[in-house]
Chains A and B, each alone.
Chain A
Amino acid sequence: MDHAAIGHYRAYRPRPFTRSERDTVTVLFGGLHWRAERLIQGALENLGYRTRILPGATKEDLLTGRELADIGQCCPTSFTAGNLANFLRSEAVRTSAADVAQKYVYVTAGACGACRFGQYHQSYELTLRNLGMESFRIFLLAQNGLDQGAADGSGLELNLPFTMGAIWAVLVADLLQDMEYQVRPYEVNPGETERVMRDAVQYFYEVFRTSPLRGGKAGVVLWYLGTDRFLKALGEVRRSFERIEVDRLRVKPVVKITGEFYLQTVEGEANYNIHRWLEAEGAEVYPAAIAIWLDYLMRYAARDYADHLGIDRLARLKLGAVKTAQALLRFTYNRMRGALGNVPHELPDQRELYELAAPHYHGRLSGGEGDMLIGKALWAYRHKKAHMTCELSPYACMPNTMSVGAMAAVLGKHPDLLYAPLEIKGDAEVHALSRCQMILAEAKRQAQREYEEALERSGLTPEKARALYDAAPGMKRATYRVPHCGAAGAAANLVLHLAGCARR
């Protein structure tokens, strides 16, 4: 027997996606909320890619994912792998598997480290094998690289124009989402916010799609940092929001969403539509901005470089570079936030998150959200940014389970911190929502107490507060920024603000 006769196992390797295929091959992507996906689509189309957003993941996708990949995977893997599989299957029915493999490629984030997320490729690979579509091409882009070069074949260039476009799209989407969630619970005419938001996202899709293309790497960076194109567009959106009338005297608990990246970001069946459910239950949702995650990644990298000072001779240079990038990210976010009248929430200071979490969870522990789950919960509690934190993690999420466990000591110290860690399996909705509802009930009581205390402190009655509010129509605009007066809820802050204005 020939000594090479055993056909050893080899991992999946996508065949190249060539530059010449770019005009005929469609890049599939998904896994974020619809606003971010649509704006990224605009940014990618601006670079000459044909793109298509995968439909939102459903329970059917979850079951397909479980069926086609290894048992025991976390639900984001099942949702995303099943989502892709069902899409490919439905397309193959219309044409053929070979045609689908030729017409589409899939791009997703991955390759970050040692939790399941860093090993998603294996689930996708197995899914494709079990689907009989091994020739389909999947490309992973590392979440921590700005300029990763070209994927095999140069059809997909993960370069600075690609990354900068995607980051700017994410920042705008974050701000729009935040605005939406701060306005909708208080809108006087139901459906108005929804309509304005749809128009705003479509408008921004065009803004990104038609951005003037820039030359080299430095040119792209400078253009994005210097242009007022997006600020002007945000100004337009602000004017649209201005027409929405709100009633911020409605007492509502603020629920901050944290958790595993996928589950805290998507809005749909993958997280039991928790954003909409919370709103329907009478809460104001404080959504999880993707920008915080980007900020955290840079903080984490900076800490690593700082640890290597005196060991790696380039560490100081790298530290300086990553700190500059972090400052530029925050600068850009704040500029954009300013264009929306500073109504969207600010980015929490990463240093503060680190310091708050440090006694309970080491800042260098990696995987998932690291120390941020604890840091963010304590930050929201200390600064009265929310009445309650709802933490969404997949069942058996490796890193997040650890920080949820470490939260036991935090809760021992701060028993009034309302914290709802929900383990999301994808098919245990009633269990998760009823658990959330128990803590939400306490958050509602807290919001009501806070409102009553605000009235007492300000010497107002509800009727008097209403009269003052009615007398200041400018405050009823969705774009009016009620200052944070030490309360978590909008109504309590408004009462204190009205009293302050009346005194002046």
Chain B
Amino acid sequence: MQRWFARTPSADSKARAELRIGIPKALGLWSTHQFWVGFFTALGIEPRRIVFSSDTSEEQARQYGKGRVTVDCCYPVKCISGHYGELLVREKHRKIDVLFSPMIYSLPSFLKGHALDTLACPRVMAAPENIKAGFLREKDAFAEHGVRYAAPFVSLGDPKLVPKQLHEGLQGVIPALTLAETRNAAREGYAALEAFNARAARRSREVLARCAREDRPCLMVLARPYHMDPGIGHEIEMDLQAHGYPVLWAQHFPTDPDLLEWMFGDDIRRGFIRSPHDISDVWPSSYSANTNEILWGAKAAARMPWIACVIRLASYECGMDQPSYTPVQQIVERSGTLFFSFQDLDSTKPAASMKIRVETIAYYLQKHWRDIIERKKAASAPGCPLRKIAPPAGPAGGPGFRA
């Protein structure tokens, strides 16, 4: 009964339905957007009225973020000024009522319970406070545009805490919001996110299974989720995909027990790790969700024969990535997998040099992928489950698919 009431829209449902919520598509939103869509939809906000800013671009920063940056820091944070600005100046008929920019303290992660924590980067979690200052220091730009600014602090890695935090953080933003319906909406949000992640992992497995069946190579990208933003990651993996290599992202690597047992069973039996998700053998201070996933992805790539090449992306001045450069490279290269790193990515895409590097990678791959796969297969445990299971029905995602 309580659940039924929680699901019932409140008396202010009409006011809610008319709300338009603008969300800057940046940082932690790249791995949690499905949660927010599910959450707000469950609260009675029409899905078409939940709007995201566009992909990051230099043009966006120039047009909407100029003069708003308060401190020089990494581009993924700095560029958010452009996202805020773009959302604030939408045309009258598409004007947003609320600029929603959550301070995400911790993240949902498939490594939860196996790592020390799943924290967001300190800059990522605090970015809204930093960016907000640029819109307040002279005058209140939010008030000037008639937009309510909402930046609740939220520990998405701690689901029990989330309803309380969002209920507090959205008071006065969502009309007549109750704790019970916030609880229900958070549940819906997590369900939407899990469904999306499961879909992505399933597609990744299909790609891997096809590579295993055909003994063909694929690539893995090790990066933070926001490197999927074309303005941050500069679509390097897309350029490689154009050479015909399927691309997987570590965050969406399949975590089916049969596959993990085949990949990590030996390490568990030899006492290096306690579970397939354990990364303490390579990274003892596993506090950061994204770093942990990158490290785990490196281990997975090292143990998956058909991942013939790993591409590492990192932004200029990223203090989270910097300490992990050497272990990630070591993990990948010691397995005989090709490793290429694009560090210090910034606002401008150095197109010519990237093209040369992409062609170099394609050349090496073309030359070595057969040997790499054979060598890694020989070093793998017998009985790969990818080869046992028949390909699932439906589209498996051909070249050009990004999991």
Q: A residues touching B (Cβ–Cβ < 8 Å)?
A: 1-11, 70-74, 110-111, 113-116, 118-123, 126, 307-308, 310-311, 360-362, 364-368, 396-399, 401-412
Contacts and interface: CB of A to CB of B under 8 A. Distances in A.
A126 B328 CA distance: 13
Given A72-B318, A311-B161, A362 B103 contact: yes
A110 B291 CA distance: 17
Contacts of B70: 404-408
B13 interface: no
B121 A3 contact: no
Contacts of A9: 282, 302, 327, 330-331, 334
Contacts of A123: 323
A20 B183 CA distance: 55
B84 interface: no
Taking each of B72, B103, B127, which has the highest tally of chain A beta carbons within 10 Å of its own beta carbon? Answer: B72
A397 B122 CA distance: 10
Interface of B: 70-73, 77, 103, 105, 117, 119-123, 125-127, 129-134, 136-138, 153, 160-161, 164-165, 266-267, 270, 272, 280-285, 287-288, 291, 299, 302, 317-320, 322-327, 330-331, 334-336, 343, 375-376, 378-382
Contact of B138 (A72, A118, A407, A412): A412
Given A307-B164, A408-B137, 18 more contacts: A1-B379, A6-B335, A8-B331, A10-B272, A70-B323, A70-B326, A72-B322, A114-B287, A114-B320, A121-B285, A311-B164, A361-B129, A401-B72, A404-B70, A405-B131, A406-B126, A406-B132, A406-B133
Taking each of A71, A396, A410, which has the highest tally of chain B beta carbons within 10 Å of its own beta carbon? Answer: A396
Taking each of B70, B121, B129, B325, which has the highest tally of chain A beta carbons within 10 Å of its own beta carbon? Answer: B129
B378 A3 contact: yes
A365 B153 contact: yes
B296 to A, nearest CB: 13
Contacts, number: 197
B322 A71 contact: yes
Given A365-B125, A405-B130, A406-B70, A412 B164 contact: no
A6 B334 contact: yes
Contacts of B323: 70, 73, 116, 119-120, 122-123
B381 to A, nearest CB: 5
Contact of A365 (B126, B266, B325): B126
A111 B123 contact: no
A166 B337 CA distance: 47
Nearest to A309: B164
A409 B137 contact: yes
A396 B282 contact: no
Contacts of B287: 113-114, 118-119
A402 B129 contact: yes
Given A114-B122, A366-B122, A406-B129, A8 B117 contact: no
Contact of B320 (A361, A398, A412): A398
B127 A402 contact: yes
A403 B130 CA distance: 7
A6 B331 contact: no
B180 to A, nearest CB: 14
19 contacts: A2-B379, A3-B380, A4-B270, A8-B334, A71-B325, A72-B318, A122-B323, A360-B129, A361-B129, A365-B103, A365-B125, A366-B122, A367-B126, A399-B126, A402-B126, A403-B130, A406-B126, A408-B133, A412-B137
A314 B156 CA distance: 21
Contacts of B153: 362, 364-365
Contacts of B375: 1
Sorted nearest first, the 7 A-B pairs with minimum C-beta distance are: A367-B122, A405-B71, A412-B137, A405-B130, A402-B126, A408-B70, A409-B133
Contact of B122 (A10, A368, A404): A368
Contacts of A6: 302, 334-336, 376, 379
A496 B98 CA distance: 52
A116 B71 contact: no
Given A6-B379, A72-B317, A113-B119, A405 B281 contact: no
A49 to B, nearest CB: 24
Contact of B335 (A4, A8, A410): A8
A7 B122 contact: no
A399 to B, nearest CB: 4
Given A121-B285, A364-B105, A367-B122, A402 B130 contact: yes
Contacts of A409: 132-133, 136-137
